[in-house]
């Protein structure tokens, strides 16, 4: 399964649409994960999309769903924008939460910077900001193993 991971679109629906088009041209997309600060942007595209899972960010006013867990192809993934986990100061709190919840990956946004690291067997990934043309692709095999890739337009 190929999954597109985006965050911090901040109304840049044109750039978001381009990212999805480029990702689709490279192979079938099984799901889209949006990590906040642009909660309504995918809805504004008015195109057929694969399943979308998303959380709200600190700029998504009137939304309180800032944390979620999804299981895709056997991999349990934590979704958060990251502001409540204080990711600007580091990812220790995020890692702790992912470990407590027995997640394979913890995905976050908020900082606008792409970052990918494996710690204690858990993938910690920030796709960067859509508004800057940044995103990530996760490929999950049938055994639940995750192959991440940071991408840029």
What CATH number does residue 56 fall under?
A: 3.60.21.10
| The dihedral formed by the CA atoms of 130, 146, 124 and 102, expressed in degrees to the nearest 10 | 130
State the pLDDT at residue 89.
95
pTM here? 0.95
pLDDT tens profile 88-117: 999 999 999 999 999 999 999 999 999 999
Sign of the torsion angle spanned by Cα atoms 65, 71, 72, 76: positive
- Model confidence at 143, in pLDDT bands (50, 70, 90)? confident
* 119 contacts: CB under 8 Å, gap ≥ 6: 91, 95
How many domains are contained in the chain? 1
- Contact assessment for residue 41 and residue 12, using Cβ atoms and an 8 Å cutoff: yes
HSE at residue 32, side-chain half, CA atoms within 13 A, is 21
pLDDT tens profile 72-91: 999 999 999 999 999 999 99
The pLDDT of residue 46 is above 80: no
Containing 25, the helix (H) or strand (E) segment is helix 13-26
Query: In which domain, by residue range, is 42 found?
Result: 2-152
């Amino acid at each position: 399964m190929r999954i597109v991971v985006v965050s911090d679109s901040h109304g840049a629906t044109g750039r978001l649409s381009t990212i999805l088009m480029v990702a689709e041209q490279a192979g079938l997309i099984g799901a889209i994960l949006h990590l906040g600060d642009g909660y309504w942007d995918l809805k504004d595209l008015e195109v057929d999309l694969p399943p979308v899972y998303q959380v709200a960010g600190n700029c998504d006013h009137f939304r309180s769903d800032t944390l979620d867990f999804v299981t895709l192809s056997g991999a349990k993934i934590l979704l958060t924008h990251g502001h409540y986990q204080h990711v600007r100061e580091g990812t220790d709190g995020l890692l702790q939460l992912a470990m407590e919840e027995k997640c394979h990956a913890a995905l976050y946004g908020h900082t606008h910077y792409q970052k990918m690291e494996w710690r204690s067997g858990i993938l910690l990934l920030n796709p960067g900001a859509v508004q800057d043309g940044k995103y990530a692709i996760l490929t999950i095999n049938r055994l639940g193993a995750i192959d991440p890739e940071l991408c840029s337009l």
